[in-house]
Structure 1
Amino acid sequence: MDIPILTLYQEKLSVAKTEIDRLESLSNRYSIARLVLIILGGAIIFMVVQTELVWLTLLTSFIVLLIFIGLVAKQSKLDKQKEDREDELLVAQNELDHIEGKDGIYNDGSQFINDKHPYSSDLDLFGQKSLYHKINRTATPEGNNILATWLSDTSVRDNILLRQEAVKELVEDPSWCLNTLARLVFSLKEKRDFKSMLINYLNKSYYDFGNKTLQLYTKLSPWFILGFLLLSTFFSMFLQIAVFLIAINVLLTLGYARKVTLVAEGIGKTGNLLKRFGRAFAIIENREWYSKLFCEMLLLKSGNKNSQPAISKTIEELGILINKLDYRLNIFVSMFLNGFLLWDFRQVFAIIKWRKSHQYEMAQVFDDLSTMEALISISLLKINNPSWSWPIILSGHEHRFQAKELGHPLISPTVSVVNDYTLVDHRIALITGSNMAGKSTFLRTVGANVVLALCGAPVYAKELHLSVMNLVTYMRIRDSLNESTSTFKAELNRLEMILQVVSTIKNTFFLVDEMLRGTNSVDKYLGSKAVIEKLIKDGGVGIVATHDLQLARLEEEYQNYLKNYHFDIQVIDGEMLFDYQLKEGACTIFNASMLLKKIGIDISV
């Protein structure tokens, strides 16, 4: 771990804690001030009432109320600032926890586990301690989905390069990445898919709410009431007219209550959420971008540099309108506001107008936000692992893979063993070796780094050059009681899938670990040999790991196509030493008998 990055996280943690303590202290002072105001203000108003001067009583009450409202507003502002600092602390602590190997606050992707996927289960892509869990910093459900899609679906080279360019830009500013995550961490606490909820609401047909006459009356009614109230100071009859208009407004509001509810349905009580999304959009809009992927985002095509209003302001505008409409949930406030201002009508007309102006852009800008989350997630993988390298994505249809010092991204660098591997003078690498010598881990190392490279991420390697490949694996084969599938039948199903993919998709790269484990040794050898020969016939490219040394003889028959590699052990003073280094040639040292002897079974007897 790079010390400056650790320092950044620790500094942000310290600053956030200090600010939280300061803001909490200030907030407590305002709470005390409000209590003192209530006591003193009440006493002052009581004394003023004794003077029997109505105007002075009203003025004093108004001043006390105004001061009280100011204190409440100031404390509310402090509480929001404190909440921001708490989010920043949470994000910084999450990064430190990841460095220490602890679980983070973000989704581990368990919902994406699929044993039938071409490679995700074999390569530990999803679930606890998975590759997704290591990478993910997305707070929204759509951000989760986008990152999962990038890891589990092979993209075209141009898209991979666009993501890589965007991630490199983000890596240059880790502090901005953390601040953006902090503005979005509130979404982790939400159980709803807010983007889907908003889009569903916007896609509903417009409600037949009133007409132009009602809109005109809504605008003019407060002025009529104000005018009649002013005239009532000279002619009392105008007071009755004003009261009559107020009553009419209340009755109108009650008559349209069902339609108002239909407009609010599905979006009510979300005003503060929208305002928080608006703040997240703002932090993205206020930064200069140069990567093509960012410059093409609709989210970044609005704002001061264009005639369009900033998306952040647009979102906040809707949030404010919804908060205003939610005033109707308090019956006393609702009666007052609707009586004088036809409050509900004003907000409904404004929301309908907003929908007409912005309905079709919201889906795209929220997709842009989710894409930004996924890119930030990948950028933090590089920020937290500065020694990792950027893979070179090669063009062309030929299979190419050249790695130096390739390590497994889920194994700590303090214990990880790295290997070189180049796909140059062969198309299939056949790896033999002792038990626990590292064959399976090496296959997963190759697979996991291919997945990272092809989603635009850095890789755990000094160098990695590869072409775009369609990855398929055969490693963890499980039986299924629900599907009445034995282990051997599950193996056959997986092999059938791999053979079909290899024969139809020419850029396929397969990783096969110890095939046909669910049958006897004779059929296992003959079957494995037949499968490898079928893969060769179909022009397959990949790596096969096996304990069966007889399969190594295939190198003689298929020279320049199949090449032997192995992992072995060293036995010193009766102890087995594993170096986990990939070597050329077939394995000559096996350790099953020694391992059995360690548990009290001597196969020589």
Structure 2
Amino acid sequence: MAVAVIITSLAVFIITALVHSKTLNEVRKKQCYIKVNKKSQDRLDGGWKKFEDTGSEYLNTDHPFADDLDIFGKNSLFQLINSTTTSFGRKKLSDMLLMNKLPQKEEINVRQSIVKELASKVDFRQNMEIEGSFDNKGKGDPSEFIEWAKGKNEKLTRPYMKIISILCPLVLIASIIIYFTTYAISKVIPFAMILLNIVVLRLGKNDMAEALNTIYEIKYNIVKYFKIIRIIDNETFVSSETNNLKNRLNKNNIKASDAMNELSDICTKISDRSNMIYFLINILLLWDYHLIYRLELWRRKYGSHIEEWFDTIGDFEAFSSISNIGCDHEEYSYPHIEQSLTISAENIAHPLIGERAVSNSFSLERSKSIILITGSNMSGKSTFLRTIGINMVLSYLGSPVYAKKFNTPILHIYTCMRIGDNLEENVSSFYAEILRVKILMNAVKNNEKVFFLLDELFKGTNSMDRHTGAEILLNQLSKKPCLGLLSTHDLELCDLEETNSRVSNYHFKEHYDNNEIKFDYKLRRGKSTTRNAVYLMRMAGIDI
């Protein structure tokens, strides 16, 4: 009777514990679902600027455009769109944004097709993010696991190891049965076999430690990769481009999801080894050897595919992040990639400013390849330059852009905008500008097709040298296969339009209402005829 009570109580306890664990997981997953949806809402109403992951470690002032166009860091494009949960996805997204290798038109078209389809698959993208965030202990570094998967341990698959792992348990079990049923043998024999099995387990301790460390890494760091693979594998895609990406998980009759299910089963069995029941079973059956043997066979069969599978996850996460833009903003349009050296935009605006952004239209072509933009302080010159630059970056990512229409060729982007003194390297802002311009000119001399954005160039020197330097630079650039914009307060530089047919003047203006300065941020043809520096000085308390 007492035994029955104990067994019943134990069964009730186990069932209750399992139900509690399942319920707790469901609650936590729902909380994660709410968090992911809250994040999506924050992207729409401006709350994204509080997202913790800004990608600041990718900031590099030497990059041709990333710092000036707010690609990384606080209030950046990365901060807005990033929904990756794995280290592969995060690295893939950052590489695409840095654009160290300029994509070709065919690649951009493929990206657009994938982004368009993923933008419509909200549940799929959210499920990936939820599974990747659930029980998240960080982005998870799979590098050690990948290296382990590529290797092998010859000792674990030698024939004698297999014989020992089968023969010793059989002899032990047989001796126990014979002893307790017939008493035909001495109890020393089963005890001796138990000691022998313990010795065998001790002899394989180092090999098992390597495998077990890998299992713990799987359990705590990269289990999310397995879950995301299952989500991708279970999803149906329409476009051939997205299916081609998915098919990287199923090649040569090897299915990634099946491999991960098999590995998860092994992991589950090994992770139970800390309990007393496992300890007894291990001595009886040399269970560690059987599981580690399975693990060794698994990595020999699938190990060479792991990196490509994880890389595919990274691609899906990166494209999912980019597709957040298309999903959130139906008013955006997909750009047309031009073959000719022509840029045109209708109602283009800055995606990081959101609904407050003022749109403008403009065009550049080989015969009119440079736009000079003048205007008073705070009138919108620098923002307009960044508007064009960041929308070009979005174009190359395969993303829709914040414009009614946008046509752009594939050009290397170079900027010189946010320049300051570098005290650590003893570099003045003027010399820093010179270095940036040198990079631009080297690219042009190497026959790169270039798009440049220059903001208040050579402001670190006197007005005469600034004017002369800018004029010479623009004349040189106008002879090359490049397009670009330059903002300036130097109104005399606008005379260049009369001597160089490839230069056009545009401006922003301000007006005053009840003695308050107002801006409409609209781009207009011609050079500026207004200025506001004196007004701003008076606002600062300077009597003029």
Q: Distance in 1 between matches of 2:385 and 2:252?
A: 53
- Structure 1 window deviating more from structure 2 (61-70 vs 477-486): it is 61-70
**Structure 1 counterpart of 2:47, from 102, 113, 117:** 102
What's the TM-score once normalised by structure 1's chain length? 0.84
Q: Distance in 2 between matches of 1:520 and 1:72?
A: 77
- What does residue 475 of structure 1 align with? 417
**3-state DSSP of counterpart to 1:118:** coil
- What does residue 68 of structure 2 align with? 122
The answer as to whether partners of 2:414 and 2:450 remain within 8 angstroms in 1 is yes
Over 3 Å counting, the alpha-carbon distance change for 1:335 and 1:574 in structure 2 is: closer
Q: Distance in 2 between matches of 1:510 and 1:385?
A: 28
The answer as to whether partners of 1:593 and 1:602 remain within 8 angstroms in 2 is no
- What does residue 446 of structure 1 align with? 388
Q: Percent identity?
A: 30
**Structure 1 counterpart of 2:528, from 587, 590, 594:** 587
Amino acid at match of 2:499: E
The structural deviation recorded for 1:150 is 1.2
Amino acid at match of 1:111: E
**3-state DSSP of counterpart to 1:138:** coil
- 1:45-124 equivalences under 5 Å are 48-49=1-2, 57=3, 61-103=6-48, 107-124=53-70
Q: Distance in 2 between matches of 1:270 and 1:235?
A: 47
Q: Distance in 2 between matches of 1:134 and 1:581?
A: 26
Over 3 Å counting, the alpha-carbon distance change for 1:530 and 1:309 in structure 2 is: closer
Over 3 Å counting, the alpha-carbon distance change for 1:289 and 1:347 in structure 2 is: same
**Structure 2 counterpart of 1:545, from 487, 491, 495:** 487
Amino acid at match of 1:166: I
- Structure 1 window deviating more from structure 2 (434-443 vs 281-290): it is 281-290
The structural deviation recorded for 1:292 is 3.2
The structural deviation recorded for 1:168 is 0.7
State the Cα RMSD in Å. 2.3
The structural deviation recorded for 1:433 is 1.3
- What does residue 377 of structure 2 align with? 435
- 1:88-237 equivalences under 5 Å are 88-103=33-48, 107-153=53-99, 154-186=102-134, 189-190=137-138, 192-193=140-141, 195-209=142-156, 211-237=158-184
- What does residue 390 of structure 1 align with? 334
Q: Distance in 2 between matches of 1:515 and 1:71?
A: 71
The structural deviation recorded for 1:334 is 5.3
Q: Distance in 1 between matches of 2:221 and 2:429?
A: 49
- What does residue 421 of structure 1 align with? 362
1:467-503 Cα distance to aligned partner (Å, 9 max, x none): 1111111101121111111111111111111111122
Q: Distance in 1 between matches of 2:32 and 2:145?
A: 24
Q: Distance in 2 between matches of 1:574 and 1:106?
A: 41
The structural deviation recorded for 1:598 is 2.5
The structural deviation recorded for 1:566 is 0.9
- What does residue 15 of structure 1 align with? none
Q: Distance in 1 between matches of 2:377 and 2:212?
A: 64
Amino acid at match of 1:581: K
The answer as to whether partners of 1:477 and 1:491 remain within 8 angstroms in 2 is yes
**3-state DSSP of counterpart to 1:570:** strand
**Structure 2 counterpart of 1:254, from 197, 202, 206:** 202
Q: Distance in 2 between matches of 1:201 and 1:405?
A: 53
The structural deviation recorded for 1:269 is 5.0
- What does residue 576 of structure 1 align with? 517
The answer as to whether partners of 2:152 and 2:299 remain within 8 angstroms in 1 is no
Amino acid at match of 1:350: R
- What does residue 292 of structure 1 align with? 240
- What does residue 337 of structure 1 align with? 281
The structural deviation recorded for 1:114 is 0.5
Q: Distance in 1 between matches of 2:270 and 2:337?
A: 53
**Structure 2 counterpart of 1:362, from 298, 301, 306:** 306
1:514-554 Cα distance to aligned partner (Å, 9 max, x none): 10011111111111112112212334321111110111111
The structural deviation recorded for 1:505 is 3.8
Q: Distance in 2 between matches of 1:312 and 1:274?
A: 14
The structural deviation recorded for 1:100 is 3.0
Q: Distance in 1 between matches of 2:19 and 2:169?
A: 30
The structural deviation recorded for 1:307 is 7.8
5+ residue gaps, structure 2, are none
Amino acid at match of 1:114: N
Q: Distance in 1 between matches of 2:80 and 2:136?
A: 17
The structural deviation recorded for 1:66 is 3.4
Q: Distance in 1 between matches of 2:361 and 2:222?
A: 50
The answer as to whether partners of 2:450 and 2:481 remain within 8 angstroms in 1 is no
- Structure 1 window deviating more from structure 2 (224-233 vs 426-435): it is 224-233
Over 3 Å counting, the alpha-carbon distance change for 1:234 and 1:216 in structure 2 is: same
